[in-house]
């Protein structure tokens, strides 16, 4: 799997009235004052602000659930000091940056600012193999994610599965409208972080 090629977008990142706010909030979610300013300047983007609020509200429970699920499958704590703390931090940062990219309508910024850097770090680590085998579905067939896992190098599997679980957990927690806006950034995360 290669790093995806991105289509051009009309980014809001350099908007004269919002550029400073985007810079200040770079690795976190907007606060209410920043949402108010965003909506004052771009009332037509209210759907993005509503989605970002929903993402921020759901993030803690989603991230904790993802870490719990992935740590049941992979023995990270046996191989890495402070594995749980680092996983929570990294996944939260991804959520915050992805939400910012959605507010900016800028997947290029997201890729260049976070994903390429994080991909290099994550793929340089030695992640353990799964301790729990993938579950069989009805009639013994593996699901599509299990087939995708087998196509990846060992160090990419845990990354792919972690961020696929993040996407699936956000799908369960967000409204269809909010998830529809956020999904492409979550998929970009999976595709970029687990690329060759």
pLDDT digits (tens, 9 = 90+) for 79-136: 788 999 999 999 999 999 999 999 999 999 999 999 999 999 998 887 888 887 666 5
Residue 69: which of 5, 158, 8 has the closest Cα? 158
- Would you place residue 76 in the very low, low, confident or very high pLDDT band (cuts 50, 70, 90)? confident
Please report which confidence band the pLDDT of residue 69 belongs to, taking 50, 70 and 90 as the band edges: very high
Q: What residue ranges do the domains of the chain occupy?
A: 19-193
Each residue's pLDDT tens digit, 11-32: 999 999 999 999 999 999 999 9
Q: How far apart are CA 111 and CA 188, in angstroms?
A: 8
Secondary structure class of 54 (helix, strand, coil): helix
Average pLDDT, integer, range 130-157: 70
Range 19-193 has CATH code 2.60.40.10: no
């Amino acid at each position: 799997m290669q790093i995806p090629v991105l289509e051009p977008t009309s980014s809001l990142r350099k908007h004269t009235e919002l550029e400073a706010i985007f810079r200040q909030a770079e690795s976190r979610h907007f606060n209410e004052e920043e949402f108010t300013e965003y909506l004052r300047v771009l009332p037509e983007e209210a759907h993005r602000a509503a989605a970002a609020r929903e993402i921020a509200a759901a993030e803690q429970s989603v991230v904790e659930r993802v870490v719990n699920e992935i740590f049941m499958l992979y023995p990270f704590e046996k191989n890495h000091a402070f594995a749980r703390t680092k996983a929570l931090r990294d996944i939260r940062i991804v959520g915050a940056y992805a939400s910012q990219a959605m507010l900016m309508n800028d997947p290029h910024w997201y890729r260049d600012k976070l994903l390429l850097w994080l991909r290099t770090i994550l793929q340089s680590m030695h992640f353990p193999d799964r301790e729990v085998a993938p579950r069989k579905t009805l009639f013994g067939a593996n699901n599509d994610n299990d087939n995708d896992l087998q196509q990846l190098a060992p160090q990419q599997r845990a990354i792919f599965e972690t961020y696929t679980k993040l996407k699936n957990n956000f799908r369960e927690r967000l409204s269809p409208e909010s998830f529809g806006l956020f999904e492409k950034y979550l998929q970009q995360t999976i595709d970029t972080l687990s690329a060759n």
